[in-house]
């Protein structure tokens, strides 16, 4: 229930573990005589806080790992963030637009969102994706952009 209230998958083991640890904390803190009218609201409050904390930690980790400023190649090539907003040279812009137009639909949609200035979180929310799907898509887009640089 707490997972659903926070918009996370209730089958996700990390969120469930955080909620279960918070529940155990509430249960152990209530002593031998507990009142359900006091215990359950407190338990749900602790579980919600634990899930929100897990979401913040996961988001921080995700965006640290998927930074748009991370170099694309081993040789300090441009980053995904500097490559996407193509401006200036018309020929390169047309070639780039043609290239991303041939990407799988989900990668094309992600690239377009990033071109328009969305952050990763805004793109994730706008595309109605979960963090795992965003992570996989950014890595796939990164590989495609590395291939684009090699052309």
The band of 91, judged by pLDDT with boundaries at 50, 70 and 90, is low
> Which domains are present in the chain?
2-65 (no CATH), 80-150 (1.10.10)
- In this prediction, residues 51-62 reach a mean pLDDT of 74
Report how far residue 33's alpha carbon sits from residue 89's, in angstroms, rounded to the nearest whole number: 74
Is a pLDDT exceeding 50 seen at residue 115? yes
Report how far residue 78's alpha carbon sits from residue 120's, in angstroms, rounded to the nearest whole number: 18
Give the pTM: 0.48
Per the rule left: phi > 0, alpha: psi between -120 and 50, beta: everything else, 88 is left
The band of 104, judged by pLDDT with boundaries at 50, 70 and 90, is very high
- In this prediction, residues 76-84 reach a mean pLDDT of 54
């Amino acid at each position: 229930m707490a997972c659903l209230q926070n918009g996370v998958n209730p089958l996700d083991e990390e969120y469930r573990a955080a909620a279960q640890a918070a529940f155990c904390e509430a249960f152990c803190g209530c002593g031998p005589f507990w009142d359900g009218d006091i215990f359950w609201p407190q338990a749900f409050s602790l579980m919600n806080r634990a899930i929100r904390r897990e979401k913040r930690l996961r988001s921080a980790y995700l965006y640290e790992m998927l930074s748009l400023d991370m170099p694309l190649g081993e040789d300090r090539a441009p980053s995904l963030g500097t490559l996407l907003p193509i401006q200036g040279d018309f020929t390169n812009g047309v070639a780039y637009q043609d290239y991303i137009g041939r990407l799988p639909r989900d990668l094309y949609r992600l690239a377009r969102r990033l071109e328009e200035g969305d952050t990763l979180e805004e793109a994730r929310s706008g595309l109605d994706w979960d963090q795992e799907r965003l992570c996989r898509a950014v890595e796939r887009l990164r590989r495609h952009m590395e291939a684009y640089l090699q052309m």
